[in-house]
């Protein structure tokens, strides 16, 4: 039976040294407050780090403590979330704040199981908060980390079972610098070890990287891998676009006012608008006025 793969200590040290000189300066990296870090991790999912950082600063000014967020109305939270997309994350974060206040005396739990039990918190977010806020030597596995560690230790492509991958991520974390490491490996993935056109020439882990070694042996330029087309922004014909436009209409309305959604919205006819509105209501993101079935009225939830 072979030993599970692990990252070279020399590669770990090189990545940390690179981060000290090249790491991104983001507003939420200046805090060790577990609540503030939980907010930043909720925002940074599927959102560019710079945009998440700007939104985080505004959100924290509006809700500086977990108690202020828990006491807020969901309508206020959804308004503060505008521009980030994936609005279910805002609602889940608000619910998580209420659980933290009600069940954890207003303190974000440090235990992984308790973190994962919070609404909207999965394995990645739980480990990121544990590492950054509490210094726990656990590896937060997102797409960037999978790619960086997979390329360095295993090459690409490199099929590996989830438990082995988690072991690799956990053992890569320096016990005394868990938070810095979490940021460092993220930045290597975002800035250097990109999905396409990885800049292996400047990668701090290149001497220990199997991906770079195989690329060089094959005679391919590791810095000019084939470029993949960038993902297009949400297209107006999608349900996600429609949901966002409905929420934006309600955000712009006076507080607690009902808004008539008299479709169509963009390319979406009245039936599609009604379907999207009912889905948003089922998720708790909006309220529907049931006084007249002939007219679709909605508002942000007020309680």
Strand order in the sheet with 259-260: 259-260, 297-299, 287-288
The dihedral region occupied by 197, where left means phi > 0, alpha psi between -120 and 50, and beta the remainder, is left
pLDDT at 225 over 50: no
**Three-state SS for 201?**
helix
Q: What's the maximum distance between 2 C-alpha atoms anywhere in the chain?
A: 71
Asked whether the beta carbons of 223 and 200 are under 8 A apart, the reply is yes
The pLDDT tens digits for 134-157 are 999 999 999 899 999 999 998 875
Q: Which of 3-17, 89-103, 247-261 tops mean pLDDT?
A: 89-103
Told to judge if 41 belongs to the known catalytic residues of this protein, a careful annotator would answer yes
Of 6, 20, 41, 287, which one is the catalytic site residue? 41
Average pLDDT over residues 27-51: 93
The pLDDT tens digits for 88-98 are 999 999 999 99
Alpha carbon of residue 221 to chain centroid: 32
H or E element at residue 55 = helix 49-62
- What architecture (CATH level 2) is domain 31-121? Orthogonal Bundle (1.10)
Q: What percent of the chain has pLDDT over 90?
A: 69
pTM assigned to the model: 0.86
Who has greater pLDDT, 16 or 4?
Answer: 16
The pLDDT tens digits for 267-291 are 888 889 999 999 999 999 999 998 7
Who has greater pLDDT, 50 or 94?
Answer: 94
Residue 281's contacts (CB-CB under 8 Å, 6 or more residues apart) are: 287, 288, 298
pLDDT at 172 over 50: yes
Q: What is the spatial distance between Cα 147 and Cα 141, in angstroms, rounded to a whole number?
A: 10
């Amino acid at each position: 039976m072979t030993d599970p793969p692990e990252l070279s200590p020399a590669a770990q040290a090189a990545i940390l040294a690179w981060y000290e000189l090249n790491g991104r300066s983001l507003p939420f990296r200046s805090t060790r407050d577990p609540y503030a870090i939980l907010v930043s991790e909720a925002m940074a999912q599927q959102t560019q780090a710079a945009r998440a950082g700007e939104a985080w600063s505004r959100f924290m000014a509006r809700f500086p403590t977990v108690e202020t967020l828990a006491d807020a109305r969901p309508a206020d939270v959804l308004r503060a979330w505008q521009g980030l997309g994936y609005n279910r994350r805002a609602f889940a974060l608000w619910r998580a704040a209420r659980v933290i206040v009600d069940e954890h005396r207003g303190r974000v739990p440090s235990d992984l199981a308790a973190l994962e039990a919070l609404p909207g918190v999965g394995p990645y977010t739980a480990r990121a908060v544990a590492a950054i806020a509490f210094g726990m030597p656990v590896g937060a596995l997102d797409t960037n980390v999978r790619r960086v560690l997979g390329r360095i230790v295993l090459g690409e492509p490199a099929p590996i079972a989830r438990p082995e991958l988690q072991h690799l991520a956990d053992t890569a974390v320096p016990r005394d610098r868990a938070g810095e490491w979490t940021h460092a490996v993220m930045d290597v993935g975002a800035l250097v070890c990109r999905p396409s056109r990885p800049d292996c020439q400047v990668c701090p882990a290149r001497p220990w990287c199997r991906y770079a070694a195989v690329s060089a042996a094959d005679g391919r330029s590791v810095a000019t891998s084939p470029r993949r087309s960038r993902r297009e922004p949400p297209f107006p014909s999608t349900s996600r676009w429609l949901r966002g436009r409905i929420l934006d209409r309600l955000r712009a309305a006076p507080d607690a006012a009902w808004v008539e959604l008299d479709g169509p919205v963009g390319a979406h006819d009245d039936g599609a608008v009604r379907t999207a509105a009912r889905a948003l209501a089922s998720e708790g993101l909006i309220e529907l006025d049931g006084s007249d079935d002939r007219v679709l009225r909605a508002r942000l939830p007020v309680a």
